[in-house]
Amino acid sequence: MVYAARLCLEAGADGITIHPRPDQRHVRPGDVGELAQLLRGYPAAEFNIEGNPFHAFLDFATEVRPQQCTLVPDETVAFTSDHGWDLSRDADRLRPVIKTIQRLGARVSLFIDPDPSTVERAASLGVERVELYTATYAEAFARNNALAGVDPYIATAMRARELGIQVNAGHDLSLQNLGFFLSKVPSIAEVSIGHALIADALEFGLSETVRRYLAITQKNIASSH
């Protein structure tokens, strides 16, 4: 895990995102501290820990004090994150968790579906960022319907910008669909690439794959601002 993260950082990755799930399918608890130690040698890189804040997540945040905590609503039985927060239901129980994380010195990002009204609720909670769940866009792209698929994300990102909230994006983004997304959706601050990056690394190698994603983000994020 540490070796792979170092390869990514040496290739120019802007940060490392981990998801320490209770079932340990992504990283093990011991990996969190080891990766935090590695990141100390790369002061310009960001450490982002994502997970459900009601599943021992705060223990990791308290231990390593990452730059960003991305809160996702996945349950222990979920295979992967497959939806954003329902803030009409979950806002009250998230509010104290968000304040606790912010007191640790971390930025808070909420994982949400593309919906301007959800961004408005996120703003009322005082978070610095939201992360747009991009699986529905990726599915539309695969059906050759990318333009329609990206429309909700454009509207959501524009509303976030009006509210002073930065926007991240992640889930099922790939070398094929990332450029179009970034060229259309304004003001994306960062993207998280997981499964596709590892799949591409089987063909191109990990370092070269990171460089290919960076080339897409550097070209398209700049043009969309």
Of the residues 34, 46, 50, 83, which is catalytic? 50
C-alpha neighbours within 13 Å on the C-beta side of residue 202: 4
Of the residues 10, 19, 128, 190, which is catalytic? 19
* 50 belongs to the catalytic site: yes
Torsion sign (Cα): 142, 145, 74, 59: positive
- Nearest Cα residue to 175 out of 133, 128, 205, 209: 209
Name 143's Cβ contacts closer than 8 Å, sequence gap at least 6. 149
* 19 belongs to the catalytic site: yes
Of the residues 34, 128, 139, 171, which is catalytic? 171
* 171 belongs to the catalytic site: yes
CB 166 within 8 A of CB 205: no
Name 164's Cβ contacts closer than 8 Å, sequence gap at least 6. 123
Query: What are the residue numbers of the active site?
Result: 19, 50, 171
